[in-house]
Amino acid sequence: MHEIDVSQPHAARVYDYLLGGKANYAVDRALAERFLRDWPELADLARANRAWMIRVVRTLASQGIDRFLDIGSGLPTADNVHQVAQRIAREARVLYVDNDPVVLTHGRSLLAADERAEYVEAPAQDAATILDRADAFLDRDRPVVVLMSAVLHYMPEPPADIVAPYVRWMPPGSHLAISHVALEGHDPELLARIREEYPQQHVRPREEIEAAFAGLEMLEPGLVDAQRWRTGEDAPVGPQPLLAGVARKLATRRAP
Ligand SMILES: C[S@@+](CC[C@H](N)C(=O)[O-])C[C@H]1O[C@@H](n2cnc3c(N)ncnc32)[C@H](O)[C@@H]1O
């Protein structure tokens, strides 16, 4: 396990601060505040993302899916995936994955009393390690939801390359859920500033996010602003879209 480095800001703790959490350090708060000065809508975006993720878990748990692989899970917060899912399906199992050791420490203490949820510390790029653990903890013969909520934009690799081994592994009837900060709706000046000052954020065009769902059947309403995903047409949409979508793996994959 890696040491906790509090001299560098980390995405999980910056996001925790944006959501009003307490599991963050001065260095994370400083970066979050700098972000907020440049991009005041960011806290709304974080909340909209979290609300989308909870809607996805509720929707799919209500359809009988009770296995979740939450990659880039973030720090435990008010409504965690296993809590939301287990309210609907008591036996729901969740494997959480994050590459931040702080997430693992907080996560393990939250989950001490729950045998149906577990944390793994690994980068999403290390699919072999993650899927090995998933094989042991989630049943291979049941549909799984692979959640990649607001995590792919921290990785330089194309989203389609990151998700490919997970999609191959998913049993038929499984779902892939992705939210990702997108170019759509960004004012070009802000975009240039984000690219220059926050190179660790990979704000991508729609097509690159869409490519991650190749061969899967996209659920309604498609890849849309997270605030528009099953909230009705009148839902407010902030000026900085976060694209979000969920797709199902059929028994026979469609040609991409
Ligand atoms: C913005 S938070 C999202 C948390 C949660 N998924 C949600 O949507 O509320 C991004 C999370 O991704 C994690 N992360 C970033 N890069 C990662 C990587 N390469 N592998 C695994 N986790 C990563 C960060 O540590 C952080 O916890």
Rounded to 5, what percent of the chain is helix, strand, coil? 40, 15, 40
When pLDDT is cut at 50, 70 and 90, the band that residue 83 belongs to is: very high
Given this model, what pLDDT does residue 81 score?
95
The pLDDT, as a whole number, for residue 123 is: 97
Distance CA 224, CA 179 (A): 9
Q: How far is the CA of 250 from the centre of ligand 1 (A)?
A: 27
* Residue of 133, 128, 127 whose CA lies nearest to 148: 127
pLDDT tens column, 17-43: 999 988 889 999 999 999 898 888 888
Ligand 1 neighbour 80 (Cβ under 6 A) = no
Q: Confidence class of residue 237 from pLDDT cuts 50, 70 and 90?
A: low
| Ligand 1 centroid, distance to 87 Cα (angstroms) | 24
Domains in the chain (CATH in brackets) are 11-248 (3.40.50.150)
Ligand 1 centre distance from Cα of residue 98 (Å): 6
Any ligand 1 atom below 6 A from CB of 74: yes
- Encode pLDDT of 111-125 as tens digits: 877 889 999 999 999
Give the pLDDT score at 143: 96
Q: Which of 155, 218, 150 is nearest to 178 (CA)?
A: 150
Confidence of residue 2 (pLDDT cuts 50, 70, 90): low
Look at the block and give the residue holding tokens 């607001």. 150
Is 185 a pocket residue for ligand 1 (Cβ < 6 Å)? no
Phi and psi at residue 179, to the nearest 5°? -125, 145
